[in-house]
Amino acid sequence: MIVCVCNNVSESKIQLAAEAGVRTMAELRMQLDVGTCCGKCAGCARKILREHCENQEAQSKTHGVHLLLHKIQFHNEGVHA
């Protein structure tokens, strides 16, 4: 889906930018020129960026918990062996 018609920026480009570390609309404007012409896409672009960042954080936390559980399990197996 094209989010910014003026600059031909798709939802997937915004998601890729988020995965590359973009966290704010200012950074997104600098990277992709989103919202730098008519500005009508800014709200939608902000929403997509925020949702993607939240999903990444949730996945990161889940991964961190799994890693911690794995370390605890490994440690416990080492103690009882």
Give whole-number Cα distances, 24 to 12, 19, 43, 72, 74, in Å. Answer: 16, 12, 12, 36, 39
| Closest separation in Å from C-beta 60 to ligand FES | 29
CB closer to ligand FES out of 6 and 53: 6
Residue 79, CA atoms < 13 Å, CB-side half-sphere: 6
Write out the residues near ligand FES by the rule CB under 6 A: 4-7, 34-41
| Closest separation in Å from C-beta 19 to ligand FES | 21
CB closer to ligand FES out of 18 and 45: 45
